[in-house]
Amino acid sequence: MSEVIVVTSGKGGVGKTTTTANLGTGLAALDHKVALIDADIGLRNLDVLLGLENRIVYDLTDVTGGHCRLRQALIKDKRFEGLFLLPAAQTKDKTAVNPEQMKKLCADLVQEFEYVIIDCPAGIEQGFRNAIAGAEKAIVVTTPEVAAVRDADRVVGLLEAAELRNPTLVINRLRPKMVRHGDMMSIEDIIDILAIELLGVVPEDEMVVISTNRGDAVVQDERSRSGQAYRNIVRRMKGETVPMMNLDQNGFVGRLRRIIGFK
Amino acid sequence: MFDFLLKIFGRETGGSKNVAKERLRLVLVHDRAGVSPELLEILKTELIKVISHYMDIDEQALEVNLETSDNQVALVASIPVRGMKRLNGGLASSI
């Protein structure tokens, strides 16, 4: 059984591409066959996050335009056997692809892959419509900020209008210390407002920047908090029940809780 | 208990997240209903026009807002009435 999942957010810079790279890598690390599609035509980035930028020969528009076969355009990941990337075109714009072509592309990919994950561009224009066209599930990424949550709400509405019901939510870059001090919206606050199912929470973590610098996915880093968060999300995507990480454990209150015996 | 400890050891600043939540809530009411402040202004003008046929209202104090509760949005209007108009000659001719 295959799944076609779009990772979207409305607002830019909240971590769609980072999420896509980590979920894809995480699933591949568990021996799944995964294809990642960079649907951000004109602003390709997923290749860089995966460290595959030097291997690109063909891109998404070459496939949809019939200039090459799908198999030729798929780039094999350098670490995991089952992970492949279909890069976006860098020199074209969003109109180079249409929703029908994306549907066909996704239908072709599910023949061979268990998970097809589409990295959606920011915005709600044609690039968004292309990215969601072939998807049957959606993951909405947001950060605990007014603008990001507002845009996430808008996107949830648009996804539902496009018959992509019950999207799940990833809250990215949460800073537990600020939440404790009442200076950042909490997980509960955001869920309360968006009223969609929570898939996972990724804490703000310097390791994300460090991994990205190297072209690695932080999900491979056994020791990092964000890596753990992504591994939890991956297991939830597979249908496992994984309790939410205790994000407080590094803070003072968290340590105190452990000392007095609260988990 | 934890709240108490938080107060002692934490910084416990003003809690700007409540401001964030409130602003978000307000902006989403309009987003979800697909209603812009301009549209609300036009609606208000039209309302005044229609109601003025029947009642003498205080246009300055009139308030029209979209409010939300339990994922439902309601149009709530507060319209102070100064007095009723006499409908001599029937409704049709006065409108």
Mean pLDDT computed over A61-89: 97
pLDDT for A1:
79
Measure in Å the smallest separation between the Cα of A186 and chain B Cα atoms: 8
- Tell me the β-bridge partners of B78: B63
pLDDT in tens, A145-191: 999 999 999 999 999 999 999 999 999 999 999 999 999 999 999 99
* Complex-level ipTM: 0.79
Residue B75 pLDDT more than 90?
no
> Given a cut of 80, is residue A226 above it in pLDDT?
yes
DSSP single-letter state for residue B85: P
Query: Which residues share a beta bridge with A198?
Result: A169
B23 contact residues in A (CB cutoff 8 A): 146
Count of domains observed in chain B:
1
How many residues are recorded in chain A?
263
Beta-bridged to residue A75, according to DSSP, are A85
Cβ(A10)–Cβ(A138) below 8 Å? no
Domain that holds residue A119: 3-260
Two tokens, residue B5:
């400890």
CATH number of the domain encompassing residue A54: 3.40.50.300
**Quick check: A184 and B28 CB within 8 A?**
no
> Distance between CA A228 and CA A208 in Å, rounded?
12
| pLDDT value of residue B64 | 86
Q: How far is B20 from chain A (nearest CA, A)?
A: 6
Q: Look at residues A124, A129, A134, A122 and name the one whose alpha carbon lies nearest to residue A37.
A: A134
Give me the mean pLDDT over the A49-62 stretch. Answer: 96
Q: Which of B15-18's residues contact partners 24+ apart within 8 Å by CB, and which partners? A: B15/A181, B15/A182, B15/A183, B16/A182, B16/A183, B17/A179, B17/A182, B17/A183, B17/A184, B17/A185, B17/A186, B17/A189, B18/A182
Cα–Cα distance, A194 to A191 (Å, whole number): 5
Strands A3-8 and A115-119: parallel
Rounded mean pLDDT, A217-221 = 97
- Distance from C-alpha of B91 to C-alpha of B50, rounded to nearest angstrom: 12
Number of structural domains, chain A? 1
Mean pLDDT along residues B4-25: 72
Q: Which of A34-38, A230-234, A246-250 has the lowest mean pLDDT?
A: A246-250
Write out pLDDT tens, residues A79-137: 999 999 999 999 888 889 999 999 999 999 999 999 999 999 999 999 999 999 999 99
Closest to A43 (Cα-Cα) out of A110, A104, A119, A115: A119
Give the integer Cα–Cα distance in Å for B12 and A249: 19
Tokens 């714009």, residue located: A93
| pLDDT computed for residue B94 by the predictor | 45
* Residue B30 structural domain: 2-94
> Cβ–Cβ of A252/B11 closer than 8 Å?
no
pTM over 0.90: no
A257 neighbourhood in chain B, CB within 8 Å: 2
CB contacts < 8 A (A, B): 56
pLDDT for position A27: 98
